[in-house]
Amino acid sequence: MKKFTMETTVGIFLVFGLLCVGYMTLKLGHVSLLGDNAYSLFARFTSVTGLRAGSLVYISGIEVGRVEQLTMDQEKQKALVEIRIRNGIKIFDDAIASIKTEGLIGDMHLSVDPGGAGTLLKPGGTITETQPAVDIADLISKYAFGDVKKP
């Protein structure tokens, strides 16, 4: 009888441990099973160098979403970025999306100025005003080889 209770106790702890590992895997992997509390928006860029799926999206320095997917818009010959924004965050059609770096050589993230003078973007809407990332290597090479013009 004592052996049966010991095996049952170990089994309960094992199941509880597996449930905890599964929960942490879902949370750290940003996976949602029972619905999502975010909506999708799109933005077209001439270049998305350094940006990747999973990069953070900020408004006024506050994390409000993530980059979901990077694809190519064949019709307009631009990079199409799908972003997921938390519900309750309002973004208008005069918003500006720009790719920025986290420090001098850090990861790229998407910074969104939400606008406010236009109409509210609906889920699946497109941010039309975009600014690609500044290419630091290009700037350094222009400076080094004298291509920078003085005002």
In a domain, 149, yes or no: no
Domain span at residue 116 reads 38-134
Q: Is 62 helix (H, G, I), strand (E, B) or coil?
A: strand
Contact 114, 92 (CB under 8 A): yes
In a domain, 87, yes or no: yes
Q: Say yes or no: 19 and 45 in one domain.
A: no
Q: Say yes or no: 25 and 96 in one domain.
A: no
Q: How far apart are the C-alpha atoms of 130 and 44, rounded to whole Å?
A: 7
Q: Say yes or no: 106 and 127 in one domain.
A: yes
Range among 27-31, 114-118, 123-127 with highest mean pLDDT value? 123-127
**Count of structural domains, the chain:** 2
Conformation bin of residue 11: beta by default, left when phi > 0, alpha when psi is -120 to 50? alpha
Tens of pLDDT, residue by residue over 32-47, are: 554 568 899 999 999 8
Tens of pLDDT, residue by residue over 3-21, are: 678 888 888 999 999 999 9
In a domain, 68, yes or no: yes
Q: Say yes or no: 53 and 118 in one domain.
A: yes
Q: Say yes or no: 50 and 76 in one domain.
A: yes
Q: Say yes or no: 3 and 60 in one domain.
A: no
Cα-Cα-Cα-Cα dihedral sign, residues 69, 70, 73, 79 = positive
In a domain, 69, yes or no: yes
AA letter at 63: E
Looking at residue 33, the DSSP 8-state letter turns out to be S
AA letter at 103: G
Q: Say yes or no: 49 and 116 in one domain.
A: yes
In a domain, 117, yes or no: yes
Using the structure block, give the residue that is written with the tokens 């160098």.
49
Q: Say yes or no: 62 and 108 in one domain.
A: yes
Read off the pTM.
0.69
